[in-house]
Amino acid sequence: MNDFESKSIYQDWSENSLDRDDRIFEKRRISVGEKPSYKVGVVGLGYVGLPLLLLFAEKGLSVCGIDIDINKIEQLENGVSYISYIPDSRIKKVQNKLFFSKDATNLRSCDYIVLCVPTPLKDGNSHTPDISLLKNAIDQVCDVAQKGQTIIIECTTYPGTTRELLVEEINRKGFKIGEDIFICYSPEREDPGNPLYSTENIPKLVAGATNECLKKGVELYRNAVERVVTVNSLETAEFTKLVENTQRYINIALINELKIAAEIFDVDIFESVYAAATKPFGFTAYYPGPGVGGHCIPIDPHYLNWACKRKGVDLSMINLASDINESMSKRVVNTVGKALQSIGKPIKNSKVLILGLSYKKNIDDIRESPSLTIAEQLSSMGADITAIEPYIRENQTIDFIKIKDIESINFKEFDCCLIATDHDCFDYQMIANSCKLLIDTRGRYNKDNYEFIWRA
């Protein structure tokens, strides 16, 4: 049995734990066991759940994966990955540790159950959280919960969710939390496609409903990740994840607005950011783009704002950032219109080629992608839209977009080419040499070197 002296509301269980100032952090002591083998159930096998499941299996734990998508289950059973940056070989190497099913009753035999289901916004412009999938997952898990199990939520959500939904439901089932059932919250911190950071080496934040719950959560994650950091309450952990993504959302909005200011003074915003980033302190580089996408950055700040509104507080900075970020796709469309007009073409009936549909480069995730918003707006104005997306999955289709391989494209057939997502695999010199008119939303080109390139 290893004993760790913690310096409390903030605790760090890395291999080389950092010393904390006792004047700031109240002391608390938690004993954590050696690394045993657990059977872990992971509910939701998407961009968060699948990497986590594979990491647990690679560390020697037996894992049960649950998902409502039978196609995912069948692919995983055959050792096939449906996420571009996760190779099939990772699944095949640990198949003897994996079991997949749609049936949540298989969770009864698990020591740990980790919920990794999506928490999107409701349809429309209300910016209202949609936690229906999380509620459904909690209901299923609580129906099969057994004494001794630890249930962990990894979904990003508003402060109070774990206590309001999971803790209260477990109490209604007659279990005593911290004795019969253990509850934790540990927000996912995935950065899809990032070659430097993975589930294993990103510090894992953990909070427990009780001290005993916290010990259980730490025990699990210490089996798999390099560093475990704990905070003093479920709400603090929930809030922390929203702080991380809200900060990024607002900084992206700032640089998008500065891009507009740079255009007024005929300044290249990308050159300015590169130059500012040479300052060794006090500046973090953010780059403008056609909008904000993915399942976290454009969504999570609205979870925080919605939760604050319930308490009578409206976070004006989030509202302003939302207005700026959501306006960027319209600015791109306006630039496309001006560029086409410069060669005597209206948007209507123009053939537009969009390069990149995913929300960020080098991945296949198109959720909330600004590329799709731009394509939809152009299509509604009568443009004929074709797209190149090398990371697209075979079963993905989009009604108003023709998706083709780059090898089959004759760039000269298009009135306008638009770089919406700057995948590294694109041959940008070839693209510049092949296009009649090129719109660059990602700063890939020095526009002064090309008369036919427009920045958007």
Same domain, 358 and 216: no
Query: How confident is the model over 389-439, as pLDDT tens digits?
Result: 999 865 556 888 999 999 999 999 999 999 999 999 999 999 999 999 999
The predicted pLDDT at position 13 comes to: 57
- Is residue 193 assigned to a domain? yes
Query: How confident is the model over 361-397, as pLDDT tens digits?
Result: 999 999 999 999 999 999 999 999 999 999 986 555 6
- In whole angstroms, give the CA distance from residue 67 to residue 45: 6
- Is residue 267 assigned to a domain? no
- Is residue 292 assigned to a domain? no
- Is the pLDDT at 199 greater than 50, yes or no? yes
Give the lowest-confidence range in 151-160, 294-303, 441-450: 441-450
- Is the pLDDT at 255 greater than 90, yes or no? yes
Instruction: Name the domain boundary from 183, 200, 232.
Output: 232
Share of the chain above pLDDT 90, in %: 85
Q: Quote the pTM value.
A: 0.90
Residues spanned by the domain of 417: 328-455
Burial of 154 (0-12, 13-18, 19+ CB in 10 A): buried
- Is residue 242 assigned to a domain? no
- Is the pLDDT at 133 greater than 90, yes or no? yes
- Is residue 298 assigned to a domain? no
Same domain, 360 and 217: no
Query: Which residues are within 8 A (CB) of 385 and not within 5 positions of it... i.e. 6 or more apart?
Result: 352, 354, 375, 378, 379, 400, 401, 402
- Is residue 52 assigned to a domain? yes
The predicted pLDDT at position 410 comes to: 95
Q: What is the CATH number of the domain that holds 436?
A: 3.40.50.720
Instruction: Name the domain boundary from 232, 266, 298.
Output: 232
What is the band of 23 on the pLDDT scale with cuts at 50, 70, 90? very low
The predicted pLDDT at position 25 comes to: 30
The predicted pLDDT at position 3 comes to: 34
Is 455 strand, coil or helix? strand
For the chain, the average pLDDT equals: 91
What is the band of 36 on the pLDDT scale with cuts at 50, 70, 90? low
Query: Pick the residue with more confidence: 9 or 88?
Result: 88
- In whole angstroms, give the CA distance from residue 323 to residue 331: 12
Listed residue (13, 67, 85, 133) closest to 77, CA to CA: 67
The predicted pLDDT at position 452 comes to: 87
Query: How confident is the model over 238-249, as pLDDT tens digits?
Result: 999 999 999 999
Same domain, 88 and 205: yes
Mean pLDDT of 320-344: 97
- Is residue 316 assigned to a domain? no
Same domain, 221 and 349: no
What is the band of 140 on the pLDDT scale with cuts at 50, 70, 90? very high
Mean pLDDT of 201-211: 98
What is the band of 448 on the pLDDT scale with cuts at 50, 70, 90? confident
Same domain, 58 and 181: yes
Same domain, 6 and 115: yes
Query: Pick the residue with more confidence: 90 or 194?
Result: 90
- Is the pLDDT at 19 greater than 60, yes or no? no
DSSP E strands: which ranges in 323-364? 351-355
Query: How confident is the model over 77-97, as pLDDT tens digits?
Result: 999 999 999 999 999 999 999
- Is the pLDDT at 194 greater than 50, yes or no? yes
Active site (catalytic) residues = 296
- Is residue 8 assigned to a domain? yes
The predicted pLDDT at position 20 comes to: 38
- Is the pLDDT at 7 greater than 80, yes or no? no
Same domain, 347 and 221: no
The predicted pLDDT at position 450 comes to: 83
- In whole angstroms, give the CA distance from residue 153 to residue 27: 26
In the chain the first and final C-alpha atoms are separated, in Å, by 59
| Domain count along the chain | 2
Instruction: Name the domain boundary from 199, 232, 265.
Output: 232
